[in-house]
């Protein structure tokens, strides 16, 4: 690992003032929260920030509910703490399950929600620090498009990059009308969560709308009553400690067997956290049957662009959507899931 300055601010304002967005050699300083991504990438020399600004002392580690039901979730709340919180576990299980099904217990105990939504792709060429990679080295090319691309995206890709977004929680959070609260040298702002990530298009090196010195301080969201009927389906190579090959975050507002409103997020298959809005619109007013669930899955993957090794993600993703819809519809909200 290359030398870097370690900085320890007293609060978020001080952290933003310290972070040194200009840095050296094209890379600015970085914030350090759980460190579960950035330390790995620094060891690999994929990122080489001249300084790390440790957010350990700055607080931002509580989940609080206002009188109007708005939840405020601090950016330094750990994945484990959020997964266990009753507001998620009991009222929006998709937000809890997406966390429980991610990473390992050790990682969930230290990784934070602020860092979690910003985790970097698992594209092997991004991390090998040798191959052409437009995300790591803009303009150098993309080794994955003609190379090994089994894990990579089929939705939201561009000719410059097909890297998949690797996280889980963001695919669930995108179902809710959440906002991201940030702080920077220009002050604070709120960003709709659905607008945080940007498609790779011609600039895959840019992954979010955040400025170089902009710190996520928390999230605000309301959990509607129907979010109890929600869950997270995750298909992966092994049943623990593996990234999604395809995942579906599903929440349903039902009137008997009829869908009033469906919300569907996709993971493992897209370059950004992905909302399947056309599939949601198709389901509105439909009876939820195996046939309509499968059709929704097909619609969710309309326009998918598979590559040599990842075409299996299209049927896998369709089936994940259908399974999520059928399982969510069969939840017995008084207790156990119906068999």
Q: Which is nearer to ligand SF4, 143 or 314 (CB)?
A: 143
Q: How far is the CB of 181 from ligand SF4 (least distance, A)?
A: 29
- Please identify, using beta-carbon distances, which residue of 72 and 122 lies nearer to ligand SF4: 122
**Count of residues in contact with ligand SF4, rule CB under 6 A:** 15
- Nearest distance from C-beta of residue 212 to ligand SF4, angstroms: 20
Q: How far is CA 151 from the centre of its chain?
A: 16
Environment class of 105 (CB within 10 Å of its CB; exposed 0-12, middle 13-18, buried 19+) = exposed
Q: Is 220 helix (H, G, I), strand (E, B) or coil?
A: strand
Burial code (b: 16+ CB inside 10 Å, e: under 16) for 211-234 equals: eebbbbbbbbbebbebbbbbbbbb
Q: Which of 162, 210, 248, 320 binds ligand SF4 (CB under 6 A)?
A: 162
First to last CA, the chain: 52
233 binds ligand SF4, rule: CB under 6 A: no
Q: Are 4 and 50 in contact (CB under 8 A)?
A: yes
Residue closer to ligand SF4 by CB (options 152, 320) is: 152
CA-to-CA distance for 131 and 121, rounded, in angstroms?
Answer: 15
Q: Which residues contact 225 (CB under 8 A, 6 or more apart)?
A: none
* Minimum distance, C-beta of residue 169 to ligand SF4, in the bound complex (Å): 21
Burial class (CB in 10 A: 0-12, 13-18, 19+), 69: exposed
Instruction: Tell which residue, 217, 210, 212, has the closest CA to residue 195.
Output: 210
**In the complex, minimum distance from the CB of residue 153 to ligand SF4, in angstroms, rounded to a whole number:** 8
Q: Which two tokens stand for residue 71?
A: 């939840």
Smallest separation, CB 305 to ligand SF4 (Å): 12
Q: Which is nearer to ligand SF4, 134 or 292 (CB)?
A: 134
Chain residues 93-152 in contact with ligand SF4, contact rule CB under 6 A: 121, 123, 125-126, 133-135, 142-144, 152
Closer CB to ligand SF4, 132 or 224, in the complex: 132
Cα separation of 295 and 67, whole Å?
Answer: 40
Q: How far is the CB of 120 from ligand SF4 (least distance, A)?
A: 9
Site for ligand SF4 in 50-79 (CB under 6 A): none
| Whole-number Å distance between alpha carbons of 63 and 67 | 14
Which of 110, 220, 105, 96 is CA-nearest to residue 169?
Answer: 96
Determine if 216 is a binding residue for ligand SF4 (CB under 6 A): no
What is the distance between the alpha carbons of residues 138 and 135, in angstroms, rounded to a whole number? 6
Q: How far is the CB of 204 from ligand SF4 (least distance, A)?
A: 5
Looking only at residues 168 through 207 of this chain, which bind ligand SF4 when binding is defined by CB under 6 A? 204
Which of 32, 60, 63, 161 is close enough to bind ligand SF4 by CB under 6 A?
Answer: 161
Nearer to ligand SF4, 143 or 270 (CB): 143
- Tell me whether residue 90 or residue 159 sits nearer to ligand SF4 (CB atom): 159
Report the residue number, 58 or 143, with the smaller CB distance to ligand SF4. 143
Residues that bind ligand SF4 (CB under 6 A): 121, 123, 125-126, 133-135, 142-144, 152, 161-163, 204
């Amino acid at each position: 690992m290359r030398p870097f300055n370690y900085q320890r601010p007293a609060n978020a304002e001080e952290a933003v003032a310290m972070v040194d967005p200009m840095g050296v050699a094209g890379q600015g300083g970085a914030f350090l929260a759980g460190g579960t991504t950035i330390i790995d990438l620094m060891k690999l020399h994929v990122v080489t920030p001249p300084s790390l600004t440790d957010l350990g002392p700055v607080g931002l580690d509580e989940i609080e509910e206002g009188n109007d039901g708005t939840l405020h979730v601090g950016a330094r709340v750990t994945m484990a703490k959020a997964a266990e919180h009753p507001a998620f576990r009991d009222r929006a299980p998709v937000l809890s399950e997406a966390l429980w099904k991610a990473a390992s217990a050790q990682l969930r105990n230290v990784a934070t929600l602020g860092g979690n939504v910003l985790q970097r792709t698992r594209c092997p060429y991004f991390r090998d620090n040798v191959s052409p990679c437009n995300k790591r080295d803009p303009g150098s090319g993309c080794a994955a498009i003609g190379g090994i691309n089994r894990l990579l995206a089929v939705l939201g890709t561009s000719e410059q990059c097909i890297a998949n977004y690797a996280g889980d929680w963001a695919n669930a959070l995108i179902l809710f009308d959440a906002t991201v609260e940030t702080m920077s040298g220009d002050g604070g702002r709120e960003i709709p969560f659905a607008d945080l990530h940007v498609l790779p298009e011609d600039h895959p090196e840019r992954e979010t709308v955040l400025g170089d010195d902009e710190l996520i301080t928390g999230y605000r969201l309301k959990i509607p009553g129907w979010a109890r009927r929600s869950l997270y389906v995750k298909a992966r190579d092994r049943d623990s400690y593996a990234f999604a090959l395809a995942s579906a975050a599903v929440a349903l507002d039902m009137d008997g067997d009829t869908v009033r409103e469906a919300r569907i997020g996709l993971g493992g298959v897209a370059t950004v956290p992905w909302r399947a809005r056309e599939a949601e619109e198709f389901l509105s007013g439909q009876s939820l049957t195996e046939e309509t669930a499968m059709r929704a899955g097909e619609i969710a993957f309309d326009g998918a662009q598979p590559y040599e090794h990842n075409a299996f993600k299209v049927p896998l993703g369709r089936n994940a959507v259908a399974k999520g819809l059928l399982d969510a519809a069969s939840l017995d909200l008084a207790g156990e899931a119906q068999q």
